[in-house]
Structure 1
Amino acid sequence: MIPKYIFPILLVVWAMVIFFFSSQTYEEQRITPFFAQFDTPYWYDRLAGISFMYGGAEVSARAAGVSGFLEFFIRKGAHLFIFFVFGLLTLGVWRHFVRNAVLSFSGALVCVLLYASADELHQKLTGGRTPLLQDVMLDTFGGLLGLFCFLMFNRWRKRRT
């Protein structure tokens, strides 16, 4: 049995991690120099057919370079992962204090959405960062995946006992 105070502590620490990353400018988080080795004709040719719009801007190797294109997916994957964990922890808190499953799930989802929105607002106040509605949606989706994984793990654990 997990003590009641563990999830709230982990959630606060994780929220602080998210806040820390949101406080950094794009230049402080930039990883394109690491991917510069992929800015070659070989990779441009392989990625030439992939292009889509995100936040009103084209995402493609042509528009951002191969390194920028790869960085886009790493950064958006980080959004998913960070809010996946946030969703897990949020539902862990709600489930310890609210026994109604629907209410705890709904409350956790609202918390994820509100924190994702607050995170983008915080980025608006941080130099060199652009708040995007698409990122709120991506963060919320990551949190929702975390909520479902929490439920699936609990269901699996209960079946084993």
Structure 2
Amino acid sequence: MAMVIFFFSSQTYEEQSISPLLSQFNTPYWYDRLIGISFMYGGVEVSVQTAGVNGFLEFFLRKGAHLFIFFVFGLLTYGVWRRFVKNPVLSFSGAFLCVLFYASTDELHQKLTGGRTPLWQDVMLDTCWEFSFFLSLLSMEKSTSNNMLFFWSARTGKSE
């Protein structure tokens, strides 16, 4: 998973752009429905007025993909930690620090890649998402009687 993240962060924005695919949504219909949505992210206004329908939709798709990839990375990292560390809180902490570290290095890598804008807000978005995800994992794990999470067994370390 780390290699997937590294691969995508090594591409320039132009290499990753999906705006041409989204051009079919650049119609008055979508413009009228999205015109009231506006917010600041990374010191830049994100809205249909500033980015157009294509850019506005692309922003959400790119951030959603970012969250999904880091969600999977966090889930896999937590699974590895749970396999070797039986305490769920320690596993949570270790996996959370791994996600925080990798999100930070991902933004550093983007800084070194031309045509990318590294943002500390992306690191915060990734880690806050993972933190809420890990909290839900911990609460699910504490509520199960046999201390099992998905397909990892905390007692045996074997897949179910």
Q: TM-score, normalised by structure 1?
A: 0.83
The letter for the 2-side match of 1:109 is F
Per-residue CA deviations over 1:126-145 (Å, capped at 9, x if unaligned) read: 11100011110111133334
- Identify, as 1 or 2, the structure richer in helix: 1
1:40 aligns with 2:27: yes
| CA distance 1:154–1:74, shift in 2 (3 Å) | farther
- Seq. identity, %: 72
Corresponding residue for residue 14 of structure 2: 27
1:18 aligns with 2:43: no
Can you give the 5+ residue segments of structure 2 that lack an aligned partner in the other structure?
149-159
The Cα shift of 1:146 comes to: 4.3
Corresponding residue for residue 121 of structure 1: 108
The Cα shift of 1:47 comes to: 1.0
1:158 aligns with 2:143: no
Q: TM-score, normalised by structure 2?
A: 0.84
Choose the corresponding residue for 1:138, options 125, 128, 136: 125
- Counterpart secondary structure, 1:18: helix
RMSD, aligned CA: 2.2
The letter for the 1-side match of 2:126 is D
Can you give the 5+ residue segments of structure 1 that lack an aligned partner in the other structure?
1-13
State the structure with bigger RCO (CA 8 A, min sep 6), 1 or 2.
Answer: 1
The letter for the 2-side match of 1:95 is R
In structure 1, C-alpha distance between the alignment counterparts of 2:56 and 2:40, rounded to whole Å: 12
Task: Trace 1:2-151 onto structure 2 (pairs within 5 A).
Answer: 14-148=1-135, 150-151=137-138
Out of 59-68 and 138-147, give the one that drifted further.
138-147
